[in-house]
Amino acid sequence: MSAKNAARRLEMYSKLVLCRAFEDKISELAAERGRLPGMQILATGQEAVAVGVVQALSPEDVVVSNHRSHAHLLARGAEPGLLMAEIMGKAAGINKGKSGTLHMAAPELNVLMTSTVVGAGPPLAAGAAFALQYAGKEALAAVFFGDGAAAEGSVHEAMNLAALWRLPVLFICENNRWAGAQGLAEHCPVESLSQRAAAYAMIGETVDGNDADRVFARARTLAEACRLGRGPALLEARTYRMRGHGEYDRQHYVPKDEIERWRALDPVEAYGRRLTEEGLLSADQDRAVRGQARARVLEAVAFAEQAPYPAPNQALEDLWA
């Protein structure tokens, strides 16, 4: 293992830990009345998909995200304070309080668009990929969508178009086994969503979405193919939605043993263990990584809480270019 690889993997671990700490804090704040407006939809348990895929992207690659976006944004390097302020609806938020938690976009980081309309991401990504192809760039558009979203017609239309025009789209299906309160078997006739790729004559693969190394490796290979003009690819990452659909969801419909089974496969803990076993992460380093993440999150909360709300009539701004 080269030193470069070791550094990259430690970076991935720090990001996993940061994503988890950030969302654990949101979950804590959401439980206190009045501290966070609106619904809080967390990617707890799915961090290795976000971190592994984003690590495989280059800065020119474009990311399109969905309602479960925090980890995508943090993995791409978004400032936790700007996200937290946005989630609280503050003027200092990454989108001036116009988005809130559900639609945060950071075009400065090439997280170009986020839509909470399920299934909207893939066609948007096809458009972004077309622009990259049009400009002759060796870059791609990576779009995250869920197993539930795979049932929307828009996803199929986007895949067909992308395959037909060989658009550089990396479709990442985060199969967390739930769409709201509907389990995979209740909303999807196939167990493996990567099978769908065959219908559009594109590459399709399934990867263990709780293994950051494997996600990274497969995403890097597929991304390379996309960039070289081989057309789109579909990567299904099998993972699990550990905290329910949103913070108001008590998971009353989820079998208890299922949650327990997946808790044992926690992607953040698993990665820490692996790096420790490989001698890349000492106990002291691990404490430092976790301590730094906690400190950044506390700083983010402090920044966001003292930040003012936007003026009410600034609601009238930002509609038109």
Partner 1 sequence: MTKGTFGQAINSALDTALALDKRVFVAGEGVGVSIHADPNMPTSGLLAKYGPERVKDTPVSEAAIMGLAVGAAAMGLLPVVEIMFFPFITLASDMLVNHAAKLRYLSGGKTSFPLTVRVKAGVNFSAGCQHSHNLEAWLAHCPGLKVAFPSNPADAKGLLLSAIFDPNPVVVVEEMPLYWTTGQYPKGDQRAPLGRAEVVRAGRECTVVAYGSAVHTALAAAEGLAQKGLSVEVLDLRCLAPLDREAVLGSVRKTGRLVVVHDANKTCGLGAEIAALAAEQAFESLKAPVRRVAAPDIPVPFSPPQERFNRPDARAVAEAVESLV
Q: Which residues bind partner 1 (CB under 8 A)?
A: 37-39, 89-91, 97-100, 102-103, 115-119, 148-149, 151-154, 179-182, 186-188, 244-246, 248-250, 252-253, 309-316, 319
Query: Could you tell me whether strands 111-114 and 169-175 are parallel, antiparallel, or unpaired per DSSP bridges?
Result: unpaired
Give the footprint of Mg ion on residues 139-158 (CB under 5 A). Answer: 146-148
Q: Is 146 in the site for ligand TPP (CB under 6 A)?
A: yes
Within 10 angstroms of residue 318's Cβ, the number of other Cβ atoms is 10
User: Is residue 116 a contact partner of residue 144, using CB atoms and an 8 Å limit?
Assistant: no
Q: Is 176 in the site for Mg ion (CB under 5 A)?
A: yes
Using CB under 6 A, pick the residue from 167, 179, 193, 300 that binds ligand TPP.
179
Round to whole Å and give the CA distance between 297 and 267.
20
Site track for ligand TPP across 236-255, x = CB under 6 A: -----x---x----------
Residues 6+ away with beta carbon under 8 Å from 160: 200
User: Is residue 219 a contact partner of residue 140, using CB atoms and an 8 Å limit?
Assistant: no
Round to whole Å and give the CA distance between 40 and 10.
28
Site track for Mg ion across 218-257, x = CB under 5 A: ----------------------------------------
Classified as helix, coil or strand, 260 is helix
Round to whole Å and give the CA distance between 72 and 125.
15
Q: Is 46 in the site for Mg ion (CB under 5 A)?
A: no
Using CB under 6 A, pick the residue from 9, 15, 20, 68 that binds ligand TPP.
68
Residue 68 touches which member of partner 1, Mg ion, ligand TPP, none, C-beta under 5-8 Å by kind: ligand TPP
Looking at the Cβ atoms of 119 and 231, the one nearer to partner 1 is 119
Give the footprint of ligand TPP on residues 189-228 (CB under 6 A). Answer: none
Q: Is 180 in the site for ligand TPP (CB under 6 A)?
A: yes
| Nearest distance from C-beta of residue 302 to ligand TPP, angstroms | 29
User: Is residue 168 a contact partner of residue 227, using CB atoms and an 8 Å limit?
Assistant: yes
User: Is residue 76 a contact partner of residue 68, using CB atoms and an 8 Å limit?
Assistant: no
End-to-end CA distance of the chain: 49
Residue 153 touches which member of ligand TPP, Mg ion, partner 1, none, C-beta under 5-8 Å by kind: partner 1
Q: Is 147 in the site for ligand TPP (CB under 6 A)?
A: yes
Residues 6+ away with beta carbon under 8 Å from 157: 123
Q: Report the half-sphere exposure of 207 (CA within 13 A, side-chain side).
A: 28
Within 10 angstroms of residue 35's Cβ, the number of other Cβ atoms is 13
Looking at the Cβ atoms of 22 and 178, the one nearer to ligand TPP is 178
| Nearest distance from C-beta of residue 274 to Mg ion, angstroms | 26
- Binding interface with ligand TPP (CB under 6 A): 67-68, 116-119, 146-149, 176, 178-180, 241, 245
- Binding interface with Mg ion (CB under 5 A): 146-148, 176, 178-179
